[in-house]
Amino acid sequence: MRFKIIAMSIILFLICSCAIQAEGRHFIDFDGDGFSDNIIDFDNNSIPDEFQSKVKELKSHTRTFTFSPTALFSDKSKDVKLTVSQKFSLHQFKARQLAKCRSNFDSDFNSGLSAGASSGGGCVGGVCF
Amino acid sequence: MKKIIFLISILLFVTGSLFGQTFYNAEVTVRASSTDNLFKNSSDSSDNFASTKASLNLYPLHFSEINIFTEYTKYNKNNNLSNLNYGGGLTLMPLSDSSLFSIYMNMNYKGYRYKEDTLTTSTTSSTEFSDKNINGVVALGYQLNETTSLRTGFNYSLVGYASDSDFVSDKSLNEIFTGLNLSLFGSNAIDFEAGYSFEKYDYLPEYDSVFNRTYGIDRINAYNRLEESDLNSYYVSLRYSRPLGKKTGFSLSYSYRNFTESKDSALILGSSSGYLSPWVNSYDGNTTLAKFKTYLVPYTIISFGVGYWNSSYLKTLESVSILNPLYDPYYDDPSAEFTTTVHTRNAQGRNDDKYRIFMTVSVPIVTSSGRLFEPSLNIDYTDNESTIANYTYSDFSIILSINIR
């Protein structure tokens, strides 16, 4: 009986959970941060626009690092002519589930904070940067 | 040579700024780190180190990217670990945006050149040597529908053994993997991945009568007795993630890896060189990791989490130096006072239980010209209990960094 109650609670929690959809687009989370990858981030600062009181108006959109593929979902970026690097960024966005595969356990099994030859970069608790 | 590379990097960075970066981009990262246990063992060796990294991305075609980078890391106490890291990579994604398939091909090369030093007997044994890492991935994805994607691929990696010795082999791995990502009931994401890896390693068979010596066998003989064997393994990984409220995300992941066959009595020479050895991460076991990411503080990204690792290592024992009973201080060279021997009979199994808590705070700042400045603070605490006393340790580490791109 107790097991049934727990199971039903979990199912109800999942069904009734507040679905944060990115302007009607489906929820997809390839990078496992708990947020939809399709949330619009116009200035590409990794903070979704809806969580910022003011999004920086950029004088130039030619840089790849400040080009957000999700911004193409917004009205602001309609009819934008993309540069070569931005087109690549768009390809990268589409293939992000492949680039972020955890096949070699570098993130989950890494020995940690290290700048040695065995790991190459800094990883803290499974978060590599 | 280092100065030339840095000058070229700075020149490209400045040039990139002037020409609007339509076909290339530059990035600089400066990092300062402090740890109270650099080698992750009972030695509790604290150290501070700082690094500067400059990288450049070129886009000759819209589906290709060429990356080159250089990074210099300076250690405060362990100066012989200071190194110049350099390399490059090529990424190709030659499919149209409208295709349901996606393909990702990537090849990377990393080289390390360590600082010259006269130190020859530390656990790091890094006098003057270079090292190389090569990694290649080919992955194919298919989007089944709006919320479900499949992926499969092949991964190759070669990690060089950071030593001036030719006796210990590099670590080479071939791996195939496949995975599935789907969303259920609105905003609940499930990611499953499984893979199988093929690997070779050198091991020393257990003690036999040929080398029946009181003090074990000497290092050179031990190297000559190494035999090659398979070290294949499989892994499965499952992750669940979802939002918790509007501004917080949560993920829970579980991973399990198992060696399908390994020599129970084996030991890998060189593996306990620790910090620089590619064999340090050769273990099987499981990990459970809970992570949170929140935007509750304005203009700030805060990530934190807790993880548990249960790891079973291959039996390993590095050479040990013991007093030479035949040493005569009047006739022998002083270097003969100690002999370096390798024992195989008493190689111990190592099983660790590790707990970690960690937090990352970053404040990305975008300028009106489109430049991004991102200062970050990372804090990490680790507590590790091992069946071998040398590997029972705790560590507290802090990293401060700023990324400009």
User: pLDDT for A39-72, tens place per residue?
Assistant: 877 777 778 877 776 665 555 555 545 566 666 6
CA–CA gap between residue B383 and residue B349 (Å, rounded): 20
Instruction: Establish if A24 touches chain B: CB-CB under 8 angstroms.
Output: no
Provide the percentage of residues in chain A whose pLDDT is more than 70: 39
Residue B230 is encoded by which pair of tokens? 């398979």
Mutate to test the interface with B, among A16, A101, A102 (most CBs of B within 10 A): A101
pTM score, two decimals?
0.80
| Nearest Cα residue to B299 out of B373, B188, B206 | B373
The reply to whether ipTM tops 0.85 is: no
For chain A, what is the largest distance between any 2 Cα atoms, rounded to a whole number of angstroms?
A: 62
Chain A hits for B248, Cβ within 8 Å: 34
Q: Searching chain A, which residue's CA lies closest to the CA of residue B100? A: A94
A27 and B183 within 8 Å at the Cβ level: the answer is: yes
Is pLDDT larger for residue B19 or for residue A96?
A96
Q: Which stretches in chain B have pLDDT values below 50? A: 18-21, 118-128, 209-214
Closest by Cβ to A35, choosing from B104, B181, B249:
B249
Provide the percentage of residues in chain B whose pLDDT is more than 70: 77
Question: Quick one: pLDDT at residue B323?
Answer: 67
**In this structure, are residues A105 and B309 in contact, taking their beta carbons and an 8 Å threshold?**
no
B366 and A101 within 8 Å at the Cβ level: the answer is: no
Model confidence at A22: pLDDT above 50: no
Instruction: Establish if A127 touches chain B: CB-CB under 8 angstroms.
Output: yes
Selected residues 74-103 of chain A with any CB under 8 Å from a CB in chain B: 83-85, 87-88, 90-92, 94-95, 97-99, 101-103
- The alpha-carbon gap from A1 to the nearest alpha carbon of chain B, in Å, equals 25
Closest by Cβ to B366, choosing from A34, A56, A113:
A56
Instruction: Establish if A118 touches chain B: CB-CB under 8 angstroms.
Output: yes
Question: Quick one: pLDDT at residue A78?
Answer: 56
Chain B hits for A15, Cβ within 8 Å: 185-186
Is pLDDT larger for residue B328 or for residue A12?
B328
pLDDT tens profile B35-85: 998 888 888 889 999 999 999 989 888 889 999 999 999 999 988 788 888
Question: Quick one: pLDDT at residue A107?
Answer: 41
Closest by Cβ to A63, choosing from B175, B257, B370:
B370
**In this structure, are residues B316 and B271 in contact, taking their beta carbons and an 8 Å threshold?**
yes
Question: Quick one: pLDDT at residue B250?
Answer: 94
Question: Quick one: pLDDT at residue B11?
Answer: 58
B51 and A115 within 8 Å at the Cβ level: the answer is: yes
Residue B129 is encoded by which pair of tokens? 């040597």
Chain centroid to Cα B330, Å, comes to 48
- The alpha-carbon gap from B242 to the nearest alpha carbon of chain A, in Å, equals 4
pLDDT mean across residues, chain A: 61
Mutate to test the interface with B, among A104, A107, A128 (most CBs of B within 10 A): A104
Closest by Cβ to B110, choosing from A51, A103, A120:
A120
Q: Exposure of B154 by Cβ count < 10 A (0-12 exposed, 13-18 middle, 19+ buried)?
A: middle
A117 and B250 within 8 Å at the Cβ level: the answer is: no
Q: Determine the 3-state secondary structure of B184 from DSSP.
A: strand
Chain A hits for B195, Cβ within 8 Å: 103
B21 and A64 within 8 Å at the Cβ level: the answer is: yes
CA–CA gap between residue B214 and residue B174 (Å, rounded): 40
Closest by Cβ to A99, choosing from B104, B281, B371:
B104
Residue found by looking up tokens 């705070």 in the block = B361
Closest by Cβ to B293, choosing from A34, A112, A118:
A34
- The alpha-carbon gap from B17 to the nearest alpha carbon of chain A, in Å, equals 9
Closest by Cβ to B242, choosing from A17, A91, A120:
A17
Q: Which residues contact A77 (CB under 8 A, 6 or more apart)?
A: A42, A71
**In this structure, are residues B119 and B127 in contact, taking their beta carbons and an 8 Å threshold?**
yes
Residue found by looking up tokens 């050198």 in the block = B202
Question: Quick one: pLDDT at residue B268?
Answer: 74
B249 and A33 within 8 Å at the Cβ level: the answer is: yes
